[in-house]
Amino acid sequence: MKVLALESANEQCSVSIVDENQELFFQLDTRAKAQTQTILPMIEQGFLQLDIKTEDLSCIAFSRGPGSFSGVRINAAVTQALAWSNDLPVVPVSTLQALAQAAHRVHGLTTVTAVLDARMSEVYIASFQLDTDGIMQAVDEEQLLSYAAATECTPFTLVGSGATLIDPSQIQYKDLSATAQDIATIARKNAQQQHWVSAELALPVYLRDNAWKKIPEQGKA
């Protein structure tokens, strides 16, 4: 089994390839908004390094959002193109779940409330708890909330870019970001159980109906 995992739903871009036991390849580009230039070359580098082709994969996993509108769209489009052309199944992974998984990987946390800055004075938020397989599982639904409303939905340690937006004192884990390593960790278990979907269902999740708004309308610089 080989799983290609892609993460471009935040400001960074990363690619991981794993088998059922270990990570085989990982590359991260931390430059902001460079996904369109880097994601395909990074995938190709992984294939070259491992001497494999797309058809050798068992499935493709991707961060399906919520997150950066352009980043989520790029991730879904690349995944769909590769999966469709090679008749591969897809494992969509929540960006918030991946962030929670990163909190466990990096800091050993077992219960977190993952919070991402959604702009427009709102955050994406959901809470997670570690299961017996070492996977952070949701204990509530993903939501798009105002800062004030989000303060009522924070049962655990806050992690992610939105942490200080709803509680200025929560600075310890505000810079934590998920990578393709976290997507791969979550997707590996799904792949082993064949919990996946077809390429046409590799759809982005925005949680915001007006995700198409122009940048000035989203409160961005």
Question: Do 113 and 158 contact (CB within 8 A), yes or no?
Answer: yes
136-138 and 3-7 as β-strands: parallel, antiparallel, unpaired? unpaired
Q: How far apart are CA 11 and CA 115, in angstroms?
A: 15
Write the single-letter amino acid at 91.
V
Full pLDDT tens readout for the chain, 221 residues: 999 999 998 888 999 999 999 999 999 998 877 788 899 999 999 999 999 999 999 999 999 999 988 899 999 999 999 999 999 999 999 999 999 999 999 999 999 999 999 999 999 999 999 999 999 999 999 999 999 999 999 999 999 999 999 999 999 999 999 999 999 999 999 999 999 999 999 999 999 865 444 334 444 43
Q: How far apart are CA 180 and CA 166, in angstroms?
A: 27
Question: Do 94 and 141 contact (CB within 8 A), yes or no?
Answer: no
Question: Do 166 and 174 contact (CB within 8 A), yes or no?
Answer: no
